[in-house]
Amino acid sequence: MKVLYVVHQFFPRHVTGTETYTYELARAVADRGHEVSVLCYEHSTFPDVPRKGVLREEYGGIPVTRFCYDSRTWKNPTLYEYWNPEFGELSRKYFQKHRPDVIHFTHNSLLSAALLDSAHELAIPIVLTLTDFWYICPRMQLIREDGTLCSGPQGELDCYNCYHRPALDRWRFLTDKLPPSVRKKVADARAEIKKRVLTARSGSDRFLNAALNRRATLREKIKLADVVIAPTRFLMEKFRDNGFDMSRCRLIHFGINAALLEGMNKRASDRLRFAFVGTLRGHKGCHLLIDAFRGIENNDVELQIYGNEEQFPEYSRSLRRAAAGDGRIRFRGTFPREEIGRVLAETDVLVMPSLWYENSPLMLLFALRSHTPVIAGDVGGLSEFIRDGGNGCLFEKGSVEGLRDAMRRFISDRSLARRISSAETKVKSIEEHSAEIESIYKGFLRQARNNHER
């Protein structure tokens, strides 16, 4: 069986959860005897990438085709963000030439949902895994410009502001120093003014029209998928609440490469070791963790921070400033995925203070599989896996005091981490997960054979 995986971006230039999941799934399906390949977008701003065209490479034994483009030159970036006719035509030719038996989408951003139409028109079965909220939110994470969580657009103008990311970044830089209550009032006033201006603008504004049509377009395009996969019940319900047809959606939890944890044994330490592992960006809440940790006076504790400081340098510098003078806090940089067992072996408690909803982050699953206790914010994509006092501790999202109290539970009772680590938590391996996904693929082949025999 020929399986094509379509993702917004891919290794080795891009390394986050969705890319990791896509690679591990493709690798596992290949190990089950199938022919796999990856199609993704690539930013032509990289020096080794053509300005415009198709780049063919290989990563980890998997053929990778990259549609290279500079998104800054798009004719209508507001439209092309979710519906790019150029990539639609290019993908149609690609699908016709390679004729995969199944196309599995793990993210449509950058390439856009136009590829769903191309696959559908060629009668190629489509599997769509929802790895975040991109279909609902152009910023993918359902976070408003004032930093508060969004449940989904209440009106067609709600999302328009979020298309102008450079302006929003400047706006946050100018308002981050304000108290939260003041920042929210300023943001509300700014949003109301902009809404009135936009409402008064001519209907011929192609950028505004593109923004207004985004939600309706993607609600229709998601229906082209033969099977939609949600890794959490929370995400499935969030899509349903926003008017998306989830009748073809299946709840299938992610699996992880458990081989990376083989032979892992916790390394003893006379200090209680908290750790943060993830993207150093505001929505991940590392600043919250540093603030909470600095309010703890114990000297026999430490905080290890793992993340790429060059990806979002201004935020990383702010973390350094917040941690300055506290020798208990250490910035450890990044590590190869093959060393995740080592990192968890040197971690007593993993802290995930996310300020967005999250969606079954792989690091959480690795921690649970390795019996590492987790402190997490009480948000849907995390709390669905954490039993407070069972396999971890939950605190109110965004609460410094709540997080500090959760950490103090482990500090005051050093046996708590051991008790929690003995709790049984079922986390699937990528082999188990790929077997579930393979059964979906095989169902398409059986259906095709039955249709042919008729």
Indicate which CATH number applies to the domain containing 304. 3.40.50.2000
pLDDT of residue 315: 96
Residue in the structure block whose two tokens are 């917040």: 322
Region 79-94: mean pLDDT is: 96
pLDDT of residue 155: 74
Q: Mean pLDDT in the chain?
A: 90
Q: Could you tell me the pLDDT band of residue 208, with boundaries at 50, 70 and 90?
A: confident
pLDDT of residue 167: 43
Do 125 and 44 fall within a single domain?
A: yes
Kindly state whether residue 314 falls inside one of the protein's structural domains: yes
pLDDT of residue 202: 41
pLDDT of residue 391: 92
Of 97-106, 207-216, 241-250, 434-443, least confident by mean pLDDT is 207-216
pLDDT of residue 453: 59
Kindly state whether residue 88 falls inside one of the protein's structural domains: yes
Residue 39 has pLDDT above 50, yes or no: yes
Do 343 and 399 fall within a single domain?
A: yes
* Buried residues in 413-443 as b, exposed as e (16+ CB within 10 A): eeebbeebbeeebebbbbeebbeebbebbee
337-354 pLDDT tens trace: 999 999 999 999 999 999
Taking the model in full, what pTM does it have?
Answer: 0.89
Kindly state whether residue 185 falls inside one of the protein's structural domains: no
Kindly state whether residue 323 falls inside one of the protein's structural domains: yes
Residue 141 has pLDDT above 50, yes or no: yes
Residue 174 has pLDDT above 90, yes or no: no
Q: What's the number of domains the chain is made of?
A: 2
Across the strands, what pairs with 37? 4
Share of the chain above pLDDT 70, in %: 89
Do 330 and 387 fall within a single domain?
A: yes
Q: Print the domain residue range for 29.
A: 2-129+430-453
Kindly state whether residue 147 falls inside one of the protein's structural domains: no
Q: Could you tell me the pLDDT band of residue 65, with boundaries at 50, 70 and 90?
A: very high
Tell which residue, 334, 341, 336, 322, has the closest CA to residue 276.
334
Do 121 and 22 fall within a single domain?
A: yes
Kindly state whether residue 410 falls inside one of the protein's structural domains: yes
SS3 140: coil
Across the strands, what pairs with 302? 273
Region 278-305: mean pLDDT is: 97
Do 415 and 438 fall within a single domain?
A: no
Q: Could you tell me the pLDDT band of residue 425, with boundaries at 50, 70 and 90?
A: confident
The strands making up 392-395's β-sheet, listed across from edge to edge, are: 329-333, 301-306, 272-277, 349-352, 374-377, 392-395
Region 314-330: mean pLDDT is: 98
Do 357 and 273 fall within a single domain?
A: yes
Residue in the structure block whose two tokens are 């792989």: 362
Residue 182 has pLDDT above 80, yes or no: no
Do 269 and 378 fall within a single domain?
A: yes
SS3 399: coil
d(CA 29, CA 34): 6
Do 277 and 373 fall within a single domain?
A: yes
Do 389 and 298 fall within a single domain?
A: yes
**Does residue 61 contact residue 11 with C-beta atoms inside 8 Å?**
no
Terminal alpha carbon distance of the chain: 22
Q: Could you tell me the pLDDT band of residue 200, with boundaries at 50, 70 and 90?
A: very low
pLDDT of residue 234: 97
Region 61-83: mean pLDDT is: 93
In the numeric block, which tokens belong to residue 221?
A: 């395009």
Tell which residue, 3, 86, 2, has the closest CA to residue 41.
86
pLDDT of residue 187: 65
d(CA 407, CA 243): 39
**Does residue 65 contact residue 111 with C-beta atoms inside 8 Å?**
no
Q: Which residue has the higher pLDDT, 302 or 72?
A: 302
pLDDT of residue 194: 57
DSSP, res 125: -
Do 435 and 319 fall within a single domain?
A: no
Do 338 and 439 fall within a single domain?
A: no
Residue 117 has pLDDT above 50, yes or no: yes
Kindly state whether residue 155 falls inside one of the protein's structural domains: no
CATH code at 106? 3.40.50
Beta strand ranges found along 341-453 (DSSP E): 349-352, 374-377, 392-395
Residue 179 has pLDDT above 60, yes or no: no
Do 268 and 327 fall within a single domain?
A: yes
Kindly state whether residue 253 falls inside one of the protein's structural domains: no
DSSP, res 337: G
